[in-house]
Structure 1
Amino acid sequence: MKMIINGEKVDSSDKKGIQVLNPATQEVIDTVPSATQEDIQKAIQVAQTGRKVWAQIPLYERSSILKKYVELLKENKLELSKLESSETGKIIKECEGELGTAAKIFTGFIERANHLCGEVMPDCQSECGKDIIFTRREPLGVIVCIIPFNYPVELFCHKVAPALVMGNSVIVKPATDNPLTVIRLVELLLKAGIPKNVVQVITGRGPVVGNHLIENPNVDAVSLTGSTEVGIEVAEKSAKYLHHVFLELGGNDAMIVMDDADIDFAVEEAMLGRISNTGQTCCATKRIVVNNKVKDEFIKKLIERLEKIKRGNPADHSTDIGCLISEKAAIDVEKQVKHTIDQGAKCVYGGTRNKAFFEPTVLVDVTLDMDVANDMEIFGPVIPIIGFDTEKEAVEIANAPIYGLQCGIVTNDIKTAINMAAKIEVGNVVINGTGNYRHIDMAFGGTKMTGIGREGVQYTLEEMSKVKSYVLKNILK
């Protein structure tokens, strides 16, 4: 596949490319261009023209075009799901679910934008009593959307849909490992009727493409989902031109299991919260914090449940867990597990790797001084178990990392859960469930070093626009 600049499918100016592999088979699926600075500069220039064109198109016309895109997403669901599964290693049924969510996300943003109204200021000040002041929302301009590998379809939609419906032009940077589905999504936008200078897609490695995009005065905003390390770098480089930045970054989220919990239910939630997308989810439950009174029972039942998971070909609808995005990613998880064992933890289940595949793994005897209990985020199907005795201790364990995205609490005592939730430093708390949860309307995002801003139908439209006040002075008699 090729990049798309000004509606044209193009190679990089130096003709260099990058191979895209199927991580499950290690076969080459396709190649994409490795963009140069010249390519990136051209895309930005086109987007600068496009932002003026798109901003002048009335909202109802923009909405009409995007509604056509929703229908194209539905019509091409099977093709897009297969493509995503092949380049990501995600199981096909999860890809199909992601495509279904994509249509809902675009629809939600379209409907919300059509009912997003300005305000009229009250004439409560005597010196302004004859004035009318009202507000309108206007586009930010050119928005760089940096898409992560783990949910390329869903997170493309959470960034691109609000940007476009609010009148911005976008430059999309897909992940290097799996850019193909994102390119197809952009192709369908053009097919739906988006002007060719409004949406561009640039492929290549992050340190080259990302840096050139961010360090440009003709960019107005950057929306990134990625690691905290990359987020900090983006924020620092964006500061030079005061770009708006929206950063959804790392997490090491806990799920707390109280002693009165239904253990079978807690096990199911913990399992689903950790093995979905092979553990490669920002808000996945990455630490299970279990009351010591029920910890042994929880571990026993968790292992029994993991035994029933079907491993295998991600393209098979009966498969429950696929592979990681690459063999390198699986090797990194393997090193983190070994590091945790070296620090004193014990592996009681799994822990083995086969190329890009990594077995669901249970680590016990995890103590609070270990890296995995604090700031080491394992992006794979690894389940560290940490025991606690008191409610206060559970909250302290949950708050230990530098991150604060989401948390789950499983208990039959809702009053206790609410009081704990108020003390836990995260963006969202799921009571009686895993923290691996996202509703398209909720304010998704975290605290501390998990990022800046919120994504969600009820919130992102405001992030992707700016308020302008119009003053009609002395208009009233």
Structure 2
Amino acid sequence: MKMLIGGEWVNAKSGEEIMVVNPATQKFLDTVPNATKEDVANCLHHAGKGQKEWASLSLYVRTAVLAKCADRIKQQRDELATLLSSETGKTIKEAEKEISNTSLIFKSFAEKANHLYGQVMPDIHEGMEKDISFTRREPLGVIVCIVPFNFPANLFAQKVAPALACGNGVIVKPASDNPLTALRLSEILLECGVPGNALQIVTGKGSTVGKWLVDNPMINGVSLTGSTEVGMEIAKDAAKYLHRVFLELGGNDAFIIFEDADLASAVEEAVRTRAGNAGQMCCASKRFLVHEQIKEKFTNALVNRLSKLVIGDPLDPCTEMGCLISEKAAIQVEEGIKHTIEQGAKCIYGGKRFNKTFFPPTVLTDVTPEMDISKDLEVFGPVFPIIEFSSGEEAIRIANQTKYGLQNGIMSADISKAIEVASRLKSGAVVINGGCNYRHVEMPFGGCKMSGIGREGVSCTLEEMSQVKTYVLKSVLNTK
């Protein structure tokens, strides 16, 4: 597939390409251009013109286009889901759900944008009784949307839909491992009426293409979902020009399971929120804090449940867990487990990758709060480190000792206790009666501390991707 620059599908100026393979089979899928600095400069040249063209359309015209995009994505769910599963390694059921959510996100932002109101200031300021001051929202300008590999369709929608709804120009930088779904979605948007210079998509390595796009005065904002390390580099480059920055970064989320929790439900939530997408989720449950009274029972039940998990061909509807995005990613998970074992943990289930990119669910016991995995070591795979606690105070201390603050989960039969604990956890969200992995399309998703800046979701992103202008009509009222 080619990349989209200035309304045309083009190769890189150098002719260099990046091969895209199916991570489950290692079979060739397609190639994409490895963009050069000249390609990026050309893209930026078109972006400003495209933004003005798109913003000149009335809001109802723009949102009608986005609603049409939502319908088209829904109609082509099966095709998109198959492509998504093939290039990412997630199960076909997970891919189908993601494409359905992608359609919903486009539809929801179109509806929300049609009801985004300005404000009129009250006449409480003495001497200004004859004035009328009101606000309107205007586009930021050109926004670079950097989309990660783990949810390439969903997060494409969470960034691109609100940016376009607000009248911004958009440049998408997809992950180099699996850019095909984002490219196909871009084709659909063009077919539905988005101008080809208002939406552009540039493929290539993030370390170069991403930097060229962000470290540039011709853009106005950056929306990134990725690692904390990459987010810090992006923020540094953006700071030179005071670009508005939205960063959804890493996490090492704690799932706290109290002694009065329903054991069967806790196990199911643990599996769902850690084995889903083969553990490659920023808000997955990554630290399992289990009360000492039920730790042994929970561990045995967890291993028993994981032993029945069907791992295999992602395109097989019976498969419950697919593979990781690449062999490199699987090796990194293996290294994280090895490091934790060297610090004193025991691996009682799983632990070794197979077929290059597949990694079995892995249970680690004897994990102490002092170990790296209990603090800031984010393992991006299906690993279950079980950490014992004896009191609510201890659980809160362990949960909060990480540099991250994305989401947490609590299981307890005592709702008052759960809410009290939730109020003391330093994170952007807390799931009560469930694991950490939860994302409603409307919720203001995001974290604190090193988990990012800003929030993303239908309830808030339109405000983030627009700016307020105040209009003052001076001395227009005849007041006594």
TM-score range, shorter chain: over 0.9
In 2, distance between residues paired with 1:456 and 1:64?
Answer: 20
What is aligned with 2:409?
408
Residue type matched to 2:47 in 1? A
Tell me the equivalent position of 1:298. 298
Deviation of residue 21 (structure 1)?
1.1
Q: 2:127 is paired with a residue of what secondary structure?
A: helix
Cα shift readout 1:385-420 (whole Å, capped 9, x = no counterpart): 000001000001111110000000000101101110
The question of whether the paired residues in 1 share the 8 Å contact of 2:410 and 2:418 is answered with yes
1:53 and 2:73 are equivalent in the alignment: no
Residue number in structure 2 paired with 1:27: 27
SS of aligned partner of 2:285: coil
Q: Which residue is 2:422 aligned to?
A: 421
Aligned mates of 2:401, 2:268 — CA distance in 1: 25
Amino acid in the other structure paired with 1:337: I
Report what 1:110 is aligned to: 110
Q: Moved runs in structure 1, 4+ residues, more than 4 A?
A: none
In 2, Cα distance between equivalents of 1:433 and 1:368: 22
Residue type of the partner of 1:132? I
Q: What corresponds to 2:242 in structure 1?
A: 242
Letter in 2 for 1:258: F
Matched with 1:91 is 91
Matches of 1:125 and 1:97, distance apart in 2: 52
What 5-or-longer segments of structure 1 have no aligned partner? none
**Structure 2 equivalent of residue 452 of structure 1:** 453
- Give how far 1:41 is off: 0.7
Is residue 4–residue 196 contact of structure 2 (8 Å, CA) maintained in 1? no
Unaligned runs of 5+ in 2: none
* Cα-to-partner distance string for 1:144-186 (whole Å, 9 max, x where unaligned): 0000000000000000000001100100000010000000000
Q: Could you list the per-position Cα deviations for residues 231-269 of structure 1 after superposition, in whole angstroms to 9, with x for gaps in the alignment?
A: 000001100000000000000001000000011110000
Structure 1: distance between partners of 2:12 and 2:221: 24
Deviations, residues 72-121 of structure 1 (Å, cap 9, x unaligned): 10111111101111110011100000011111111111111111100000
Alpha-carbon RMSD across the aligned residues, in angstroms, is 0.5
Measured after TM superposition, the shift of residue 68 of structure 1 is 1.1
- Which residue number corresponds to residue 396 of structure 2? 395
Residues in 2 aligned to 1:129 and 1:81: alpha-carbon distance in whole angstroms? 58
Equivalence for 2:227: 227
Task: Identify the residue that residue 360 of structure 1 maps to in structure 2.
Answer: 361
* Amino acid aligned to 1:302: L
Residue 209 of structure 1 aligns with which residue?
A: 209
User: 3-state SS of the aligned residue for 1:397?
Assistant: helix
> Residue 269 of structure 2 contacts residue 434 of structure 2 at CA under 8 Å; is this kept in 1?
yes
Judge which range, 357-366 or 69-78, deviates more: 69-78
Alignment partner of 2:381: what SS?
coil
**How many equivalent pairs are there?**
477
**For the residues of structure 2 that align with 1:441 and 1:179, how far apart are their CA atoms?**
25
Shift of 1:45: 1.0
SS in 2 for 1:444: coil
Q: Which amino acid aligns with 1:232?
A: M
TM-score, normalised relative to structure 2: 0.99
1:27: how far off?
1.3
- One-letter amino acid of the structure 1 residue matched with residue 296 of structure 2: D
What CA deviation, in whole Å up to 9, does each residue of 1:185-232 have, x standing for no partner? Answer: 001000000111100000000011000000110000000000000000
Instruction: Say if 2:22 and 2:29, in contact at 8 Å, map to a contact too.
Output: yes
Partner AA of 1:467 in structure 2: V
Structure 2 counterpart SS, 1:363? strand
In 2: Cα distance, 1:69 partner to 1:106 partner = 7
Alignment of 1:238-317 (within 5 A): 238-317=238-317
Mapped to 1, the partners of 2:207 and 2:407 lie a distance apart of 29
- The answer to whether 1:72 aligns with 2:69 is no
1:132-171 paired onto structure 2 within 5 Å: 132-171=132-171
Equivalent residues of 2:374, 2:402 under 8 A apart: yes
Write the distance in 2 (CA, Å) between the matches of 1:401 and 1:144.
30
2:372 is matched with which residue?
371
Using the aligned pairs only, state the percent identity: 57
CA positional deviation for 1:126: 1.5
State the distance in 2 between where 1:201 and 1:66 align.
17
TM-score (norm 1): 1.00
